[in-house]
């Protein structure tokens, strides 16, 4: 087990504070979110951050800054970078994964042999695998040995990397089927400006975290067309209903979608100017080409590929997903934003109450 559990890290002192136990930590992925989580973890813990680019790892060790992401922030002395997965994972009791969703399977296939047997693996990756329809937890279960499965934790919730790096108050969810491991990570990561709640509905937390990016693109498209605040609120509300239907069809708990990983992350991603997926939608709504928008972002907007994967998943589950389907049609150039909006507003009229099968 991780040191936080062995040393009683899940308890509190008389002041209600979580006692600090140093936990050797690896962060796989040196993008914005991986960098901010390395900064967060290095308050109290020794951190190895892995980058697939040797020049990024070298620059971090030399200048104490990530030259590509969050470059305005100095990294703590406890952060050491490497481009070698074996080196990054040796002796690490906590492994935080923050790579793009399309790279997760490949990276973790290569990382798996080097993960310590008792390590807890935290996925901060949000997405749906296109070919399989699996959440990131499902991908990890396929590529990692069964000994790791009870210790797989999903981190999700309203959390822009830049605000975490600035130590702005942030609240997230940690989901694990064996909640004791989520509690251990909660004790390791929580601090006065980063608060973690625990959950056991992994499929719900991960589905919500992935699909809110699709709705953020839809809201961005509407805002880019000057659709108005009424339209924004409607898309977010009906989008949440759509996300919930897809999640419940996979066995998720409906209440999960009203929490931090559902409504909380949806609100942030649909309205926050730091949201890459919202910016994709804004560009599309303004009539710009997707390739141009992606080039200007300079980072992955997970919602683009997630939209395509979500359409396949909803079809497989037999779930209605009109917003997701129309976002996909706009992304792939099959409909203009105006045509998609009209199609959505002129669908067959119905009750707002969901029909039970």
Long-range CB contacts for residues 316-323, cutoff 8 Å, separation at least 24: 316/133, 317/246, 317/249, 317/250, 318/249, 319/245, 319/246, 319/249, 320/242, 320/245, 321/242, 321/245, 321/246, 322/242, 322/347, 323/214, 323/215, 323/218, 323/235, 323/238, 323/239, 323/242
Annotated catalytic residue within 48, 126, 212, 335: 212
For tokens 């990397």, what's the residue? Answer: 161
Beta bridge partners of 26: 48, 95
Instruction: Give the CA dihedral 50, 297, 274, 341, nearest 10 degrees.
Output: -130
Chain mean position to CA 13: 31
Of the candidates 144, 150, 151, 148, the one whose C-alpha atom is nearest the C-alpha of residue 110 is 144
**C-alpha span between 265 and 257 (Å, rounded):** 10
Tokens, residue 17: 């504070």
Helix (H) or strand (E) holding 163: helix 161-165
Q: Is 333 left (phi over 0), alpha (psi -120 to 50) or beta?
A: left
**C-alpha span between 200 and 216 (Å, rounded):** 26
Of the candidates 269, 233, 68, the one whose C-alpha atom is nearest the C-alpha of residue 158 is 269
For tokens 């914005």, what's the residue? Answer: 32
In the residue annotation, 126 being an active-site residue is answered as no
Kind of pairing between the strands at 170-175 and 152-156: antiparallel
Active site residues: 212
């Amino acid at each position: 087990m991780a040191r936080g559990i062995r040393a009683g890290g899940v308890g509190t002192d008389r002041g209600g504070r979580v006692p600090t136990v140093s936990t050797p930590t690896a962060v796989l992925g040196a993008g914005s979110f991986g960098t901010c989580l390395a900064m967060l973890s290095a308050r109290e813990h020794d951190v190895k951050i892995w980058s697939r680019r040797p020049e990024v790892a070298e620059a971090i060790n030399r200048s104490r800054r990530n030259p590509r992401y969050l470059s305005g922030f100095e990294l703590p002395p406890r952060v050491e970078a490497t481009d070698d997965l074996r080196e990054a994972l040796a002796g690490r009791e906590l492994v935080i994964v923050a790579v793009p969703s399309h790279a997760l399977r490949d990276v973790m296939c290569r990382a798996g042999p080097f993960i310590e047997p008792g390590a807890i693996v935290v996925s901060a990756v949000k997405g749906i695998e296109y070919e399989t329809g699996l959440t990131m937890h499902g991908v990890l279960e396929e590529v990692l040995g069964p000994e790791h499965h009870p210790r797989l934790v999903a981190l999700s919730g309203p959390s822009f990397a830049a605000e975490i790096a600035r130590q702005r108050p942030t609240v997230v969810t940690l989901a694990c089927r064996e909640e004791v491991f989520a509690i251990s990570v909660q004790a390791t990561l929580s601090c006065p400006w980063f608060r973690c709640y625990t959950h056991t509905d992994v499929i719900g937390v991960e589905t919500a975290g992935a699909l809110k990016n699709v709705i953020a693109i839809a809201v961005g498209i509407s805002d880019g067309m000057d659709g108005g605040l009424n339209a924004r609120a409607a898309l977010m509300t009906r989008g949440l209903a759509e996300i919930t239907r897809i999640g419940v069809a996979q066995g998720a708990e409906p209440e999960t979608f009203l929490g931090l990983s559902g409504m909380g992350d949806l609100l942030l991603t649909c309205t926050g100017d730091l949201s890459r997926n919202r910016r994709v939608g804004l560009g599309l709504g303004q009539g710009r080409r997707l390739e141009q928008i992606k080039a200007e972002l300079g980072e992955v907007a997970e919602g683009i590929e997630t939209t395509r994967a979500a359409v396949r998943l909803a079809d497989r589950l037999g779930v209605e997903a009109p917003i997701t389907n129309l976002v996909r049609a706009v992304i792939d150039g099959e409909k203009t934003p105006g045509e998609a909006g009209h199609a959505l507003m002129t669908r067959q009229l119905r009750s707002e109450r969901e029909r039970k099968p």
